[in-house]
Amino acid sequence: MNAPDRAALRLTQFSHGGGCGCKIAPAVLSQMLARTVPGVLPPQLLVGVETADDAAVYQINGSQAIVATTDFFMPIVDDPFDFGAIAATNALSDVYAMGATPLFALALVGMPIDRLPVETMRSVLEGGEAICAKAGIPVAGGHTIDSVEPIYGLAAIGLVDPRHLKRNAGARPADVLILGKPLGVGIYSAALKKGRLNAKRYATMLASTTQLNTPGIALGRSEAVHALTDVTGFGLLGHLLEVCRASRIGARIAFDRLPLHPAVVELAREGSVTGASARNWASYGDDVALAGGLGDAERVLLTDPQTSGGLLAACAPDAVDSVLAVFRNEGFERACVIGECVAGPARARVD
């Protein structure tokens, strides 16, 4: 039995990739940006492109900075309302990952208008609007185009006190790594396309991908949290390596401590994997050491593109309980310690 589908059309049939699996592979992106000439760099620009962080940050006064980000992609699910909700949650995550509070959003919409009913397109927008309402912000406008594939996302604007700003840089040796959500969304999405995802697993995926990463606000105020990011299209290892490079440290994680969505290992072994997982590994696998007992399924999970994935925090060892309490208070029951930061080159080891 496949996941329930209210729409007569399958949105995923229009897309060559879905969710954050649509992201350009890290290695290709690096090549694209390698010769980019820096433009105007005012001192008020606190965060730009230098460490591949989650959002741009521009300081406007001593206690306020604007956080700006954008995220959009093709359908990861067939239900239009669910697609809009997932895409909006994913876009707002980058604001929370900076320790900021969302202010408003603009919708980014591309639709094959001659192939989709107006009701279907409207339902996508309603899904995004519902998540923004849950976050307490308006969708204050946007832009639409006629496109070959359905595309939806947001440009999200937030506000943060510069003293509470969190970056993917700043992690220290001996910091503890905490992950906020289970892994396996990309595997679930691949299983959905193949008709192998049952209704229970679909509900699990939807609950995870529409859970706003609100703990980021409180984590931003904690001096014991030294670095913060979210895990999305480059997979756990890809975003962990971004933290390592930005912080000039290494990391060690324990595979058996990773929170996983139910049945993802079995689904991966059955072939429900995304092309993005292989592209991710090709991009950064040289900087990863896998323990001998870890096979292809485990590697796929470590590189699996997470759409609207969890926050990844690096915190002082004596702050673990308080950081986990922040997650628990916001309903993230499966947040857990997955490893630690270590002195050394920007590499990751998985035991």
* Confidence check: pLDDT of 29 > 90: no
Q: What is the mean pLDDT of residues 216-245?
A: 96
Longest dimension (CA), the chain: 58
Query: What is the rounded average pLDDT for all residues in the chain?
Result: 92
Task: Give dist(CA 332, CA 212) in Å, integer.
Answer: 10
pLDDT at 39: 75
Split at pLDDT 50, 70, 90, the class of 2 is: very low
Split at pLDDT 50, 70, 90, the class of 26 is: low
Q: What is the mean pLDDT of residues 243-252?
A: 97
pLDDT at 15: 72
pLDDT at 6: 43
Residue 2 is given by DSSP the state P
Q: List the one residue out of 276, 275, 279, 281 whose CA is nearest residue 298.
A: 281
* Confidence check: pLDDT of 1 > 50: no
Q: Burial, 241: exposed, middle or buried (Cβ in 10 Å; 0-12, 13-18, 19+)? A: buried
Task: Give dist(CA 62, CA 115) in Å, integer.
Answer: 50
Q: List the one residue out of 83, 78, 80, 76 whose CA is nearest residue 2.
A: 78
Beta-strand relationship, 336-342 and 250-253: antiparallel
- Percent with pLDDT over 70 in the chain: 91
Domains of the chain (ranges plus CATH)? Answer: 11-20+27-163 (3.30.1330.10), 166-350 (3.90.650.10)
State the DSSP string of 5-39: --SSS-GGGG-SS-GGGGSPPHHHHHHHHTTPPP-
* Confidence check: pLDDT of 5 > 60: no
Residue 133 main-chain phi, psi, to 5 deg:
-65, -40
Catalytic residue flag (residue 20): yes
Question: Model's pTM, two decimal places?
Answer: 0.92
Split at pLDDT 50, 70, 90, the class of 13 is: confident
